[in-house]
Each structure stands twice: as structure tokens, then as C-alpha cells.
Amino acid sequence: MTAAALHALNRLSDTAISTDPFPHLVVPDFLPADLYARACAQWPDAAAFGVLQPDELPSRHQVPLTESWLARCDGERAAVWRDVRDCLFNPGIVAAMAERFPQVRDKLGWVDAPPVPNMRIIEDHTGHAMLPHTDIEVTMFSMLLYMPADGGLPDPQASHLGTALYRPRDPDFRGRGVDRYRRADFDLVAQAPYRPNHLLAYAPSDRSFHGVEPVAAPCERRLLIAFAVVESRPPSRRGAV
């Protein structure tokens, strides 16, 4: 494990879990400061971004952080983003998330193959919003690394850009799969701090309702999203149509 990856693992392991409205971590200074600065300096060019869901999320622009994209980058950019990728996803991170979150530990017991990363460099522009959802069955754990341009935004503006964490008004309500729900049926409990090098991490459950509140003011929200993806249905549900 590289020194950078060990730094990230220690930051993740040392951060206390917040439980309201569902268990999650907010990890300041997740990457080593020098690696974070290099990643910001090597942010992809505008031409690299594409709208991957034009019907549902027309204001979300993404660069999939894949080996094929890295192979097209110059040497410095490719090296930096490989280092960032390896900090967010490696066997130590998987083990640490399994230790912190029972859902991850349970899902590891249901699958025959280890999780694989699905990473995307994101720019969200004015008008982007996402309704409450859980991602319970498609993801073992999720990590969102906030990477504001120019060192971040003043607190009153930045508070509107962090990932929204919701509680259903019906205490018995449970989420399913990737279904999205009416914002009116939820209370906004908190928003993760949209600050440089802050990481939001959680393990999806049927109560991990999160989304993005609509932002009317001109803005650009930059972040890296990393999903650990697995076939996660418990044995009793495998084979179901």
C-alpha cells in the first residue's frame, strides 16, 4: 500500500460514525494535501465530460474514471488519478468499511466475487437535483470526495451543494433498489459539507435516503464518486424474477 493510500485508510478508520439520519462518515483531509492539490490541478478538460443521463440528469457531467480514459491521458494526469483511485478503493478500504458498517460485512458474505469500483469524476451545474433514494441493492458502499474549484465557496453557498441526507416522514418506510421518491415525503436532516478534500462515505441500506437539493443560483459542484459494486442479493432472493 502506498503512503497516500495508507493516509486515506487511516483517515477513514479514525473518523467517528455519525448516525443521523443514517450511519455515515464525513472525513476531512481524506487525501494527502499534496495529492489533493495535484488532482485539482489535473482536473479533466471540459471536452472530456459527457452527459451520461440526458433524460434524468441533464445537468450532471461525468468522466468515467476507467483504465481506457486513463490510457488517453498524459503521463502526469494519468498518474495522479490512478493514485486518487487507489486511495478510495483498495482491499484495506473494503476491509475498513466492512468493519465500520454491518451492511458491507453482510454483503461480503453473500457474494462470490470481490466488489469492483465504479468511479466517476463529476461536474454538476445549475439546475442539477436528485430525489431521495437509497441505492441499496446495487452498491456495497459509496464514497463522495468533494473537490471545489478555487478552494471552495463561502459557507452559506456551499451548504446548498453538499449531498442531502433525508429521513422519511413515515418511520416505517423503507427504500427499494434505485427507486426515487417524492421530496415532500422526507425531512432534510443534514447536508454533507461541500468543502475541499472532504469525503462522505456510507453503506446503502433501506434507510440511507440521500439526494441533491435543487440549486437555483449559478454554481458548479465538483466531486469524485466511487461506488463499490457487487451482486448483493442475499441467498434467499437469488433466482427471483
* Distance in angstroms (rounded) separating the CA atoms of residues 53 and 189: 27
| pLDDT attached to residue 161 | 85
Residue 10: CB atoms within 10 Å: 12
| pLDDT attached to residue 32 | 98
CATH value at residue 182: 2.60.120.620
In this prediction, the residues of the chain whose per-residue pLDDT falls under 50 are 238-241
Count of domains forming the chain: 1
- What is the full DSSP assignment across 51-95? -S-TTT-TTEEEEE--HHHHHHS-HHHHHHHHHHHHHHSSHHHHH
Could you identify the residue written with the cell 474549484?
A: 149
* Distance in angstroms (rounded) separating the CA atoms of residues 131 and 211: 5
The answer as to whether 237 is a domain residue is no
| pLDDT attached to residue 236 | 53
| pLDDT attached to residue 82 | 97
* 46: DSSP letter: G
The answer as to whether 225 is a domain residue is yes
| pLDDT attached to residue 187 | 97
The answer as to whether 170 is a domain residue is yes
The answer as to whether 241 is a domain residue is no
The answer as to whether 190 is a domain residue is yes
| pLDDT attached to residue 96 | 97
| pLDDT attached to residue 84 | 98
The answer as to whether 30 is a domain residue is yes
How is residue 201 written as a grid cell? 462515505
Is there a cis peptide before residue 21, judged by omega within 30 degrees of 0? Answer: yes
Could you give the count of Cα atoms lying within 13 Å of 23 in the half-sphere of its Cβ? 14
| pLDDT attached to residue 239 | 43
How is residue 77 written as a grid cell? 494526469
Grouping H, G, I as helix, E, B as strand and the rest as coil, residue 181 is: coil
The answer as to whether 238 is a domain residue is no
| pLDDT attached to residue 156 | 56
The answer as to whether 239 is a domain residue is no
How is residue 139 written as a grid cell? 452498491
134 Cβ contact partners less than 8 Å away, ≥ 6 residues apart: 175, 176, 177, 179, 204, 205, 206, 207, 208, 209, 210
Domain residue limits at 200:
3-232
